[in-house]
Chains A and B, each alone.
Chain A
C-alpha cells in the first residue's frame, strides 16, 4: 500500500452549530429556574446560586464559612444525618463561595431527585450553625490555610490579588490566620439571613428533564418568599497598589512562582472576545507563545499559562508559572519580550489559523454535555448576558485580523500597568 504519511489528511473546518436554548421558568415566588435539557443518562445537575459572595461580607471569611457550614447541621438533621443522606442517595455536592456569589451544586440520579431537593432545601434554608461544628471546622480550615501558605504558587497569587485590587477591596482582601477565630455563630446567622433567606436565589438545572421536574422544584423552592435576580452592581473603587513589583521570600524553595497581571475588562465589554483571543495566543493553550518559548524551547518550567477572568465589578488577567530558581530572571525577560512582540509584530496567518481552529474546537467542548452546558450558561448569565455572547465570540474567532490584535495588545497589555509578583527563595 502506498500510504503517504508525510502528507497531512485534509482538515475540515470546525463549526459550532446552534447552542441548545435554556428555558426560563419562574417559580411562584419569582425565583428563576433555568432548565437545560441535555444528555442521554437519567441524571441531573442542579446549581443553587445566591448573591452571597465575599463582596457581601463585612468580616473576613464570613461568606465562605457560612457556605461551608451549610452541611454542618440544620433544624431537622444533624451534620452526620445530612452527609449520610447525600452519600446514601449517591449524590455529589459541591459547595462554593466565590468573590461574587455563593451556593451549592448537586449531581444526582433522577430516581433520587426528590429526596435530594428536600435535603438541599433543608441545608440552604434551615442551617443552625452549631458552635461545636463551627469550632472544629475553623480548626480544619486554618490547617489547610497554613498549608496553602507554604506553597509558592499561593503566596504569589494571593499577593497579586491584593496588589491588583487593593487590600481594602473585597477582591483584594487577604485572609489572616487570626481571622479564623473571629468568625462567630452570630456573624454567620446574620449573613445567612441577609443573603440566603432574604437573598437572591437562582437555580440552573441541566440533564434529563421530565414533566414532574418543574413541580418538584416548585414544591421545595417556590413557596418561600425570596427575592431573585442576577448579582447587583456594587461599586467599590479599585485602588491597586503603587508597588508594581513584589518579592515574597519562601526559604529553601526549589522553584519560584511568578504571577504577572493586572485588572482588566470583563465579559460585558465589547473588546472582551478579542482579548480572549489575544490571551490564547500569548499563553492560553499548549501551542501558545509562552509555552513554546519558555517550556518547549528553553525547558525552564513544567508549564506556563495566561488567562483572563471576569468578575462582576472588574476583570483581571494573569500570567502564571513556576520555574527553577535559577531561571527566574530569564523567564521574566522572555515573558515581557513575548508581550512586546504582540504589540509590534502582526501575528502570522499560519498562527492565526491554528488559534482560530483550536478555539473553535474549545467552543464545541464548552457545549458538550449537560455539565458543560450548565457551566457555560452560568458563565454568561451572571453578567446579564446570554448565548449571543458566545455567537459573537465564535464570530470574532473567525474574523479577527492581526492589526486588531496589535491594538488590543497595546491597550490591554501595557507593560507599565502590569504587576509582577515573585514568591521563592532569595
Chain B
C-alpha cells in the first residue's frame, strides 16, 4: 500500500516513471486488441475471454494510476465475478448457438467502421490536444489518508444519496431477473423427487436423456424437424441429406425400453 502511495507521489510531479511507462505500453495494446477482438470474435466464449483480457489490463492501469481500490474492484468484481458469470451463462445456453454473422443491410458494416474509426479519431485528436496541457493535481489530497478512505469519504458524504439510490437499481435488477426468468409453479404442478422418478420409469416413458437444449424435438428421429419457440417447425434443423418427412404417430413415439419389438405393445 505504502509503495503504491509513493508511486502516486511520484506521479504527482508530472513525470511518468519508467516502470509505469513500460507497463502502460505493454498493456495498452493488449487492452485495445482485446476490445477489438471481442467485437470481431465469432465465438461468444472467445469474446468473453477477450473482454476479460481488456478488463484485467484496465485494472492494472487503475493500480498504476494510484487507484488501488478501484483497480482491485475491477479485477475481483468485474473480471472475477461478473465476467465469469457471463461465461457460465454462455456455456449453459450453449456455445454453439451463434448468431448469423451475415450482414443483410447493405452498407451497414462499412458505415459502422467508418463512423467508428472517425469518432475514435475525432475524440482521440481532441483529447490528445486537450489533455496535453492538463496538469494533474489533487491526487495527493484525494489519497491523503489512503485511497480506500478517500473513496469512502466521497461515497458516504457527498454521494451518499446516489449511493443509497443505487440500491433501487439493484432491487429493480433483481425483480427484473425474476420477472423475466422465473416461472412460478402452481401448487399441483410441483412434483417431488419421488413422483418424478416414478414417472420417469413408468412403462411407456423413455428414461434416457431427452434431446439437447435448443432443439425442442418431438422425437429422437433425425428426420423430425425441431420446433421453434412459436410452435412452428424449422426445416433447417434437419440435415439436407435426410428428407424431411412427417412421421407417423408410432414412428414418432419414443422407443420402448422393455425389449418389445412392437412399439404399440407397451403396457
A, B in one complex: no
Q: Hey, which bits of chain A sit against chain B, CB under 8 A?
A: none
Residue positions of B touching A, CB distance < 8 A: none
